[in-house]
């Protein structure tokens, strides 16, 4: 925020003294700070970053603070009250694709700062510092919300702070000490509460954290949703038969910085291997089909659930497993309906 410094001018004329205007709070208005500072902490003290996140990309999950009781005020109704977020760290600034202002921390990591003003008139909308909607033309100041219904001590100025971290350099450090992020402020009648009530801003800090980088991540080629199409009972020839028109390819692939070995373990709600090997059971819901399952094969053979399955191709930078999925008849009688199932898998790699 800008701090305006006024020089008081004194003129002696016929023994009258005049001075520059000094804003003052209205009689009966008060405002007191509840939380001088707050520190955001990353769960477990570390974030996970994919090795292939590009410079400028988001790393880890967005960090939300608990609700912060900033201040407790008595302000008359009808006076404009602005809740303001003040961003950040001095130094380099840039903008990301969403328009958020990104401030540099250390070790190749930056951050954008947002907040939610938890007031009934504010609709609890999340707003980030982005160089726009400033109450005083300072691009580091973001107006969160404006109210005119006044404030009562029973309803404190309450905010949730939000931080998103970014990769700013090709190589990022493994350990970060955190630091100062910004401040939560308030303006009343066009003046900062600090000047009106002598109330300082609530400072926001980020606690220290570590960065763990994966050497492998799922390749975009990996399917997460596979549509086996629409089949009829007449597409099956009996128990154990597959509907030919439902056969689909299912690829699981890794992208890696350096890979030596890898395997995958398939799990979920399955039929016994003796009756229907390599077959997933359907999820039970109203209107679900029965008498069918989804069989998975690798190189023409039913997969074995719960046991390591080697990838078909492994290089130092990529691993690929090619499966096929299809509807298979599991009972003598088939009842039509929707057919959905879920495949869970765990990948181990070195």
Let me know whether 197 and 315 are in one domain. no
State pTM to two decimals: 0.63
Q: What CATH number did the domain enclosing 122 receive?
A: 2.60.40.1410
Tell me, yes or no, whether 240 and 105 share the same domain: no
Q: How confident is the model at residue 27 (pLDDT cuts 50, 70, 90)?
A: low
Assess if residue 3 is contained within a domain. no
Q: Is the pLDDT of residue 2 over 50?
A: no
Residue 6 domain flag: no
3-state secondary structure the chain: CCCCCCCCCCEEECCEEECCCCCCCCCCCEEEECCCEEEECCHHHEEEEECCCCCCCEEEEEEECCCEEEEEEEECCCCCEEEEEEECCCCCEEECCCCCEEEECCCCEEEEEEEEECCCCCCCCEEECCCCCCCCCCCCEEEEEEECCCECCCCCEEEEEEEEEEECCCCCCCEECCEEEEEEEEEECCEEHHHHHCCCCEEEEECCEEEEEECEEECCCCCCCCCCCCCCHHHCCCCCCECHHHCEEEEEEEEECCCCCEEEEEECCECCCCCCCCEECCCCCCCECECEEEEEEECCEECCCCCEEECCEECCCEEEEEEEEEEEECCCCCECCECCCCCEEEEEEC
Question: What CATH number does residue 287 fall under?
Answer: 2.60.40.1090
Asked if the model's pLDDT at residue 3 lies above 70, the reply is no
223 lies in the same domain as 276: yes
Domain C-terminal end among 165, 190, 214: 214
Same domain (yes/no): 117, 192: yes
* Residues 83-115 pLDDT 10s: 999 998 666 677 776 789 999 888 899 999 999
pLDDT digits (tens, 9 = 90+) for 193-235: 999 999 999 999 999 999 887 778 888 888 888 999 999 999 9
Residue 5 domain-assigned? Answer: no
State the total domains in the chain: 2
Q: Is the pLDDT of residue 20 over 70?
A: no
Banded model confidence at residue 239, pLDDT cuts 50, 70, 90: very high
pLDDT at 22 exceeding the cut of 80: no
- What does the pLDDT read at residue 322? 94
Answer yes or no: do 275 and 291 share one domain: yes
Of 214, 249, 270, which one is at a domain's C-terminal end?
214
Chain segment 240-276, per-residue pLDDT in tens: 999 999 999 999 998 887 888 899 999 888 887 677 8
Residues of the chain with pLDDT > 90, as a percent, come to 60
Are 269 and 177 within one domain? no
């Amino acid at each position: 925020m800008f701090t305006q410094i006024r020089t008081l001018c004194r003129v002696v004329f016929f023994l009258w003294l005049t001075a520059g205007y000094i804003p003052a709070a209205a009689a009966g208005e008060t405002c007191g700070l509840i939380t001088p500072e707050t520190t955001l902490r990353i769960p477990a003290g570390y974030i996970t970053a994919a090795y292939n996140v590009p410079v400028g990309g988001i790393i880890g999950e967005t960090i939300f603070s608990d609700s912060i009781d900033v201040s407790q005020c008595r302000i008359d109704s009808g006076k404009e009250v602005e809740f303001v977020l003040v961003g950040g760290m001095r130094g380099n600034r840039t903008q990301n694709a969403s328009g958020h202002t990104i401030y540099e921390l250390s070790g190749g990591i930056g951050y954008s700062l947002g907040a939610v003003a938890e007031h009934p008139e504010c609709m609890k909308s999340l707003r980030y510092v982005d160089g726009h909607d400033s109450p005083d033309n300072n691009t580091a100041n973001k107006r969160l919300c404006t109210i005119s219904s006044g404030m009562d001590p029973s309803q404190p100025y309450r905010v949730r702070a939000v931080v998103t971290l970014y990769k700013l350099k090709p190589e990022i450090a493994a350990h970060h000490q955190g630091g100062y992020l910004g401040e939560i402020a308030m303006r009343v009648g066009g003046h900062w509460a600090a000047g009106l009530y002598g109330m300082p801003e609530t400072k926001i800090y980020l606690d220290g954290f570590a960065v763990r980088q994966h050497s492998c991540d799922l390749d975009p080629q990996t399917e997460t949703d596979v549509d086996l199409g629409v089949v009829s009972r007449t597409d099956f020839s009996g128990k154990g038969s597959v509907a030919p028109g439902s056969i689909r390819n299912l690829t699981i692939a890794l992208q890696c910085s350096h890979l030596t070995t890898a395997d995958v373990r398939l799990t979920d709600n399955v039929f016994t291997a003796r009756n229907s090997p390599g077959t997933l059971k359907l999820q039970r819901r109203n209107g679900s089909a029965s008498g069918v399952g989804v069989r998975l094969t690798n190189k023409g053979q039913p997969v074995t659930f719960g046991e390591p399955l080697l990838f078909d191709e492994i290089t130092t930078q990529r691993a690929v497993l090619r499966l096929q999925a299809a509807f298979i008849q599991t009972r003598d009688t088939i009842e039509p309906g929707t057919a959905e199932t879920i495949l869970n898998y765990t990948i181990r790699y070195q």
